[in-house]
């Protein structure tokens, strides 16, 4: 091949952003030995740095160009994002199924509507909006044990004679109960 043919063949090769000596594996545009293969990921992508290091080492060993390595990394990142999306969807379905099952069981109980009103009143009176959010987000508000607890607390606080309940006067301080009212 003469110099003109070599120059024409080299002009048709894709440019790489890598510099350095020609790799000895014969792959044009491949990463030269010792040069690092750098790949970029979308902002917010969590990267397993150990796996990334293994990938970069392997990409260097097989002589992938910077562009080829990026294509493989993009393929992997897209695959992982799809898996995460599918996992999230499956979790949402499972949580909704759990909530529906628990609510159906609770709803079949006799007196459920009254108990529900009492549990809600108890939460409103003694809980907070943050607690209500946690119960919704975790589906614990649909758990029968927690629901029963809220109903029992509501009943106990509403019973006459319950100390500290609504409408009850506080008990005199201990010193007055022991020594009597001095004043």
- Over residues 10-43, the pLDDT tens digits come to 444 333 333 333 344 444 455 555 567 788 888 8
The residue-averaged pLDDT of 71-76 equals 92
**Residue 170 included in any domain:** no
**Residue 95 included in any domain:** yes
The tally of domains found in the chain comes to 2
**Cα-Cα end-to-end distance for the chain:** 118
Of 37-46, 118-127, 131-140, the poorest mean pLDDT is in 37-46
pLDDT value of residue 59: 92
Looking at per-residue pLDDT, the higher value among 159 and 139 belongs to 139
- One domain for residues 49 and 117: no
- One domain for residues 76 and 132: no
**Residue 6 included in any domain:** no
Average pLDDT, the chain: 78
Of 55, 66, 63, nearest to 24 by C-alpha is 63
Residue 56: give the domain boundaries.
24-108
**Residue 1 included in any domain:** no
**Residue 62 included in any domain:** yes
**Residue 80 included in any domain:** yes
Of 100, 94, 48, 97, nearest to 73 by C-alpha is 48
CA distance 163 to 4: 102
Listed in sequence order, the residues at least 6 apart from 153 whose beta carbon sits closer than 8 Å to its beta carbon are: 122, 126
**Residue 85 included in any domain:** yes
Domain final residue, candidates 108, 129, 152: 108
- One domain for residues 51 and 98: yes
CA distance 42 to 47: 10
**Residue 127 included in any domain:** yes
């Amino acid at each position: 091949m003469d110099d003109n043919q070599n120059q024409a063949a080299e002009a048709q090769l894709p440019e790489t952003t890598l510099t350095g000596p020609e790799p000895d594996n014969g792959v044009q545009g491949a990463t030269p030995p010792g040069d690092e293969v750098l790949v970029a990921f979308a902002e917010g992508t969590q990267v397993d740095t150990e796996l990334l290091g293994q990938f970069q080492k392997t990409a260097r060993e097989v002589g992938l160009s910077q562009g080829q390595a990026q294509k493989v990394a993009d393929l992997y990142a897209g695959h992982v994002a799809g898996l995460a999306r599918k996992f999230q969807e499956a979790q949402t379905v499972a949580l909704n199924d759990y909530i529906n099952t628990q609510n159906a069981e609770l709803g079949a109980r006799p007196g459920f509507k009254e108990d529900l009103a009492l549990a809600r009143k108890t939460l409103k009176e003694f809980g907070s909006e943050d607690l209500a959010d946690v119960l919704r987000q975790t589906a614990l508000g649909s758990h029968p044990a927690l629901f029963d607890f809220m109903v029992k607390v509501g009943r106990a606080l509403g019973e006459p004679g319950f100390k500290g309940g609504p409408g009850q006067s506080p008990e005199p301080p201990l010193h007055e109960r022991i020594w009597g009212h001095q004043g």
